[in-house]
Chain A
Amino acid sequence: MPAPTDQPPAGSSALRLGTALLLLQQAGHVWPAGVQPGSIAWLQSAIDGLCELSSRDALTGLSNRRQFELALASEIDRVARTGEPALVLMVDIDHFKRINDDHGHPAGDLVLKAVAKVLHDCIRPMDTVARFGGEEFAMILPNCPPLFGQAVAERVRLKVQGTSVTIAPGQQVSVTVSLGGAYAPQWVRSSPTLWVERADQQLYRAKQEGRNVASLEQPPSSLVSPEEKGLLFGTSQFQEFL
């Protein structure tokens, strides 16, 4: 393959780029410096910008549902291979309808953005946080041991609870979230749909338990603890101390 040049590719003038360029402009796309419009490098930048756009939620700037599903599918394959624990958290704003009803949809949008920001601030760069739909968000936390999962979920819950959102000059509201979490089956070959289903069941439980609650599924019982291994192979270090 010839090295990319900044020469306009043959036929590029025939491409219908009008809408794409408008979308990129609207999204504040930053073109690489010194790039010739119509060149390969310029087209590549446009494609990258569009890919980025198609993976983001317009309102909150988080990953969108499509991107979430891609990340989930690749994470579940990774877990099957490495056996690392991974957690999916479903996060739903409690009584969101009341915000819309009492203060109007623009206020609702501000709340969504504020919650999105809290979620984004609670995660590591390797994590994915997405707007799943409506007032529901989803997070994928790779390599998250069960002990940390509960802590992360609690941190999110408390941070949202402690955040007030200015919806109009001098007018603030605050909301709470309910969280449901499930670990990827550490065994091979599960499906993303089932993983989310299980997290959703926990979310349902959190709502049942009165909202503003984080409910995580017990880690899969196929995990074999060091104590169990110790007894299995008769090499338990603490046996002597019992």
Chain B
Amino acid sequence: MTPSPIQAAAPAHAGAASGPRGRIIAVTSGKGGVGKTFLAANLAAALTARGERVLVLDADLGLANLDVILNLEPKLTLHDVFTGRCTLEEAMLPAPGGFTVLLAGSGLVEYSRLTQEVRVQLEDIVAKVAPRFDRILLDTGAGISDVVLYAVSLADEVLVLATPEPTSMTDAYATIKVLATQQQRRRIRLVVNQVSQAGEGRAIRNQLQLVVDRFVVPKIEALDEPLKLDLLGEIPTDAGVRETVQKRRLLLETMPGAPAALALVGVAQRLAA
């Protein structure tokens, strides 16, 4: 009998062999439309500016839009790698901002469900690219689907993105709960996007931590270390963000002085620390 995806999602990287390899960070949110792909792309640019070799892997296999954000028209995607139409090498594309992307290509409905094949292929690709970069950002899909959970399970760290909207906070909380109880995550990084006043991100982090301590911690049988939400930063609501997203450009390139861009640099700094 095959284990359930959730059980199988116990960190697949644990004990993985040897050799220096990049740190894998999954970017996830629960709710869609909170700026996950925007964050992944601009965080990648900020990390690249710090001198890191960065890959963004579009793990939103069903509904990818990294190509849209970066204004890339991919001729080759993960789909071509999966089907043997091109090599992994050929599908790794240079992105504006100086980092590398592996695009999923939109509408790959057949990959939106976690089959054994998708599991094996994703794991294989991550293993192959990991030694070649300092950091790999996995841009996951919306929701808490088993593909998302599986992609997250491949990562060393998880970054949960939320906005102050109640639906986003609820979904972020649900995501944190699943990650803590089913993947034994003890440290979860948090970024709060679209913050309207300074300190709102901290307040949301504290509130989430409060609910986690009350409701999630008692569910964990053997709590080896404290379950900690770690605020990487808050990104203010910024008209520049909308403008650059619409123009399909990187905020960090076109408006490096914008408040949101400065906040992203701070997030990169704390992530790298």
- A residues whose Cβ falls under 8 Å from a Cβ of B: 185, 187-191, 194, 197-198, 200-201, 204, 220-225, 227-229, 231-234
Contact = CB atoms under 8 A, between A and B. Distances in A.
Would you call the interface of chain A mostly helix, strand, loop, or mixed? loop
Nearest to B182: A221
Given A191-B114, A204-B1, A185 B145 contact: yes
A231 B181 CA distance: 19
A190 B113 contact: yes
Contacts of A232: 169-170, 173, 207-208, 211
25 contacts: A185-B144, A185-B145, A187-B143, A187-B144, A187-B148, A189-B112, A189-B113, A189-B141, A189-B145, A190-B113, A190-B114, A190-B146, A191-B113, A194-B4, A197-B4, A201-B4, A220-B178, A221-B219, A224-B173, A224-B177, A225-B215, A228-B211, A231-B215, A232-B173, A233-B169
Contact of B174 (A188, A190, A194, A223): A223
Choose among B4, B147, B170 the residue with the greatest number of A CB atoms under 10 Å from its CB.
B4
Given A232-B207, A233-B166, A194 B146 contact: yes
B49 interface: no
B214 interface: yes
Nearest to B214: A231
A197 B1 contact: yes
Q: How many interface residues does chain B have, given as a range? A: 20 to 34
Interface string B1-19: 1101100000000000000
Contact of B210 (A197, A227, A231): A231
Contacts of B142: 188
Nearest to A186: B144
B115 interface: yes
Given A190-B114, A198-B4, 7 more contacts: A189-B145, A191-B115, A197-B1, A225-B215, A228-B211, A231-B210, A232-B211
B143 A189 contact: yes
Contacts of B166: 233
Contact of A185 (B146, B169, B173): B146
Contacts of B113: 189-191
Interface in B1-40: 1-2, 4-5
A188 B145 contact: yes
A233 B145 CA distance: 25
Contacts of A224: 170, 173-174, 177
A90 to B, nearest CB: 12
